[in-house]
Amino acid sequence: MSARRTVASGGTIGMLGGGQLGRMTAMAAARLGYRTHVFTPEADSPCAQVSAAQTVAGYDDRDALARFAQACDVVTLEWENIPVDTVAFLAGLVPVHPGAGVLAVTQDRALEKGFVNRQGVATAPWRPAGSAAEAVAAASELGLPAILKTARLGYDGKGQVRLAPGDDVAAAWSALGGVDCVLEGFVDFACEVSVVVARGQDGALAAYPAVENRHRDGILARTLAPASLDPALLAEAEAVARRLVEALDLVGVLAVEMFVTRGGRVLVNELAPRPHNSGHWTIDACATSQFEQLVRAVCGLPLGAPEAHSDAVMDNLIGLEAERWPELAASPGACLHLYGKAQARPGRKMGHVTRLFPKGQAGR
């Protein structure tokens, strides 16, 4: 662990990616007196709307990246699929957290699952499927039902297909684009949970309580904080997140998505080295949100307290659901967050709303 490098208030944080996670990080940064400079190929991005500066350019534009680095004291990201070469180039000019090594692991499902397993942490059974023949062999070994997923770029239910007994595995692999995939064996899980953990430059850790996530059409619809599970399972989920963030040597925040099986096992599903949708509730229910923790970590400040002062239920506003904003804005106790996106599309996250409850009394 290298020495802590502190960015003083008034400094500039570079943000790779212009989405809502960057937007909420920029708003948290402003509370601590920092400016945000966003780098994104997208004009009028949600993050740019609340940032002090923006660079609109491709992630392969080295001249633009160099100018961006010169304007920033530290760089972070809100999307784990920023090209590794981009992050490596910037790291030669300005501190970047998390680094290219972290992204190289978390951008590829096969590398990620192999990494998790090497830490002694369980996942669903899986096999690489880099060809139609490998996919067929993996299905023969693991059995069906199973899920075939692209190794890279899939999210919110995209880039994957469920396979039932009798399905044509080779055709499914081709339908996903004929790219590297992984096949995951069927898991009979009781619920899905996630833990967001922050890690500072000095190695200090701060983990938020495990939460339960409920999905609709492959997209997170609701998060219940905290998860209503046996305390031993909650402690195990948090311990897994702590182990993985340390093994990655990550500075920033890491979200660890996990399955809890009906038999009481905790299995890691995915890692996200950035703020996570399931952590949005921390803005309203914790003294230090996941977004402020990211700012604190990358700027070399002490991490804040992750404890919740209230239970919370967070609902995503997806597509046209955001048109309910007048009703939600008038609803007592509803904490409404809209992302400034101009156009609602099916499956697009337009905002979220969080409702707080006294500890132990969340309405579920």
pLDDT in tens, 306-329: 999 999 999 999 999 999 999 999
Look at residue 60 in the predicted model and tell me its pLDDT.
Answer: 97
Taking the CB of residue 243, how many other CB atoms lie within 10 A of it?
A: 16
Q: Which helix (H) or strand (E) holds 206?
A: strand 205-207
Domains along the chain with CATH numbers: 12-106 (3.40.50.20), 125-185 (3.30.1490.20), 189-357 (3.30.470.20)
Q: Which tokens is 240 given?
A: 């897994």
Look at residue 362 in the predicted model and tell me its pLDDT.
Answer: 59
| Contact in structure between 223 and 265 (CB atoms under 8 Å) | no
Q: Per-residue pLDDT tens for 103-116? A: 999 999 999 999 99
Look at residue 318 in the predicted model and tell me its pLDDT.
Answer: 97
Look at residue 278 in the predicted model and tell me its pLDDT.
Answer: 98
Look at residue 310 in the predicted model and tell me its pLDDT.
Answer: 97
Look at residue 145 in the predicted model and tell me its pLDDT.
Answer: 93
| Contact in structure between 163 and 146 (CB atoms under 8 Å) | yes
| Contact in structure between 42 and 78 (CB atoms under 8 Å) | no
Look at residue 206 in the predicted model and tell me its pLDDT.
Answer: 98
Look at residue 157 in the predicted model and tell me its pLDDT.
Answer: 58
Look at residue 1 in the predicted model and tell me its pLDDT.
Answer: 42
Query: How far is it, in rounded angstroms, from Cα 279 to Cα 237?
Result: 15
Q: Read off the DSSP letter of residue 3.
A: P
| Contact in structure between 172 and 161 (CB atoms under 8 Å) | yes
Nearest in space to 162 (alpha carbons), one of 189, 187, 193: 187
Is residue 50 classed as helix, strand or coil in its secondary structure?
A: helix
Look at residue 159 in the predicted model and tell me its pLDDT.
Answer: 80
Low-confidence ranges of the chain (pLDDT < 50): 1-2
Look at residue 156 in the predicted model and tell me its pLDDT.
Answer: 56
**pTM metric for this prediction:** 0.94
Look at residue 154 in the predicted model and tell me its pLDDT.
Answer: 65
Contacts of 79 (CB under 8 A, 6+ apart): 16, 17, 19, 21, 274
Look at residue 160 in the predicted model and tell me its pLDDT.
Answer: 86
